[in-house]
């Protein structure tokens, strides 16, 4: 099978031919139909993620596809089923998985990090009974590939009461209008919130306005915002501090962007957190149990993920797209691979 692989961190990404993977015990082999390119994949390539234990490595973690083969112990899924998975797949047996919080499972499997990922024609997945999610026939593979990381992450971070719990009429500032940020703009607008989008790119701000943002600001303009909820959708120490300082007393900041590399351990304005009784919330994707609600809202038309500008590319174009991501040169919105030959 064709795949995109790096032999060392920061080394050039190469198109290679690899053997089709086998089926893990309790797992499934998925023929990939679409896979998104996310900044988390770039972090993996750069060596910022400690979960990558061996090289060479195939990244890619947000995908959709068709079951090619499945372990005989699994009866609820069959070859030919259309599926996706969260980017954090739970083991299915621990206390957290039992509570529906597979996204924080201590023994979780992350495609493209724990093992080879979906920048390939096929991907092998363990824990299939716990993590496979059926894709309705009305949802195309390209849109489904955007759910496992960006939309699911944005939805849970903002909508769920145990996270930001964003309410109608509240103001929310979304810092960073890439894939997850634009998803957050759409989710927040669907909840009836007043959305302020912040980004350095005029085209990203224009797209955020199309998706429902009431204000679209350059970071230099984003001062004294006084919002109830803020989100760092980039993963930057400086951005995180700015987002926290935009909150009113009692406000909630939700951190979605990964803080890796030099930003991995940075200081927060804890004096302000204490004095204004702010809440800092980490949000790590969404467990399997949350997908039904999201899929129902998509079916109802309350949220339309396909409204986000999407660039469709081939597997052979992944190396250049990943390189551009490191320089923040990608087109605003999503870049998704939907051609594999």
pLDDT at 12 over 90: yes
Query: What pLDDT does 176 receive?
Result: 93
Query: What pLDDT does 39 receive?
Result: 82
Query: What pLDDT does 332 receive?
Result: 64
**CA of residue 14 relative to chain centroid, distance:** 24
**329: pLDDT confidence band, cut at 50, 70 and 90?**
low
- Count other C-beta atoms under 10 Å from residue 3's C-beta: 26
Domains and CATH numbers, the chain: 2-146+308-339 (3.90.180.10), 151-282 (3.40.50.720)
Has this prediction a pTM greater than 0.85?
Answer: yes
Q: What are phi and psi of 189, to 5 degrees?
A: -65, -40
Q: What is the pLDDT of residues 160-213, one digit of tens each?
A: 999 999 999 999 999 999 889 999 999 999 999 999 999 999 999 999 999 999
Extended beta strands in 37-193, E state: 63-70, 82-84, 122-125, 133-134, 171-175
Residue located via tokens 């923040």: 328
Q: What is the pLDDT of residues 47-82, one digit of tens each?
A: 888 889 899 999 999 999 999 999 999 999 999 999
Least confident interval from 88-97, 98-107, 296-305 = 296-305
Query: Mean pLDDT across the stretch 137-164?
Result: 92
Q: Are strands 247-255 and 227-232 parallel, antiparallel or unpaired?
A: parallel
Query: What pLDDT does 338 receive?
Result: 94
């Amino acid at each position: 099978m064709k795949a995109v692989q790096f032999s060392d961190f920061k080394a050039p990404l190469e198109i290679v031919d690899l053997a089709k993977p086998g089926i893990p015990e309790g797992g499934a082999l998925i023929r990939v139909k679409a896979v998104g390119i996310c900044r988390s994949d770039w972090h993996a390539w750069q060596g910022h993620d400690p979960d990558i234990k061996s090289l060479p490595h195939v990244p890619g973690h947000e995908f959709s596809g068709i079951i090619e083969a499945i372990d005989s112990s699994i009866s609820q899924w069959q070859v030919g089923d259309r599926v996706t998975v969260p980017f954090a797949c739970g083991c299915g047996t621990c206390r957290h998985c039992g509570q529906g919080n597979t996204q924080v499972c201590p023994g979780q499997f992350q495609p493209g990090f724990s093992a080879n990922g979906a920048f390939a024609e096929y991907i092998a997945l363990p824990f299939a009974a716990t993590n496979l999610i059926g894709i309705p026939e009305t949802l195309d593979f390209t849109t489904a590939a955007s759910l496992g990381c960006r939309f699911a992450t944005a939805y849970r971070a903002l909508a769920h009461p145990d996270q930001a719990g964003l309410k109608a009429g509240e103001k929310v500032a979304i810092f960073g209008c890439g894939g997850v940020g634009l998803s957050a703009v759409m989710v927040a607008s669907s909840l009836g919130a007043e959305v302020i989008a912040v980004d350095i790119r005029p085209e990203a701000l224009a797209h955020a306005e199309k998706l429902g943002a009431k204000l679209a600001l350059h970071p230099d303009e984003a001062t004294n915002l006084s919002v109830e909820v803020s989100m760092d959708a980039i993963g930057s120490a400086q951005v995180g501090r700015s987002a926290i300082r935009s909150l009113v007393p009692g406000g909630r900041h939700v951190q979605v962007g990964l803080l890796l590399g030099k930003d991995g351990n940075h200081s927060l304005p804890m004096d302000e957190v204490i004095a204004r009784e702010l809440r800092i919330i980490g949000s790590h994707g969404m467990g399997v149990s949350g997908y039904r609600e999201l899929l129902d809202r998509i079916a109802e038309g309350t949220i339309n993920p396909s409204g986000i500008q999407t660039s469709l590319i081939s597997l052979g174009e992944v190396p250049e797209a990943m390189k551009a991501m490191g320089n923040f040169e990608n087109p605003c919105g999503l870049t998704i691979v939907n051609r594999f030959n």
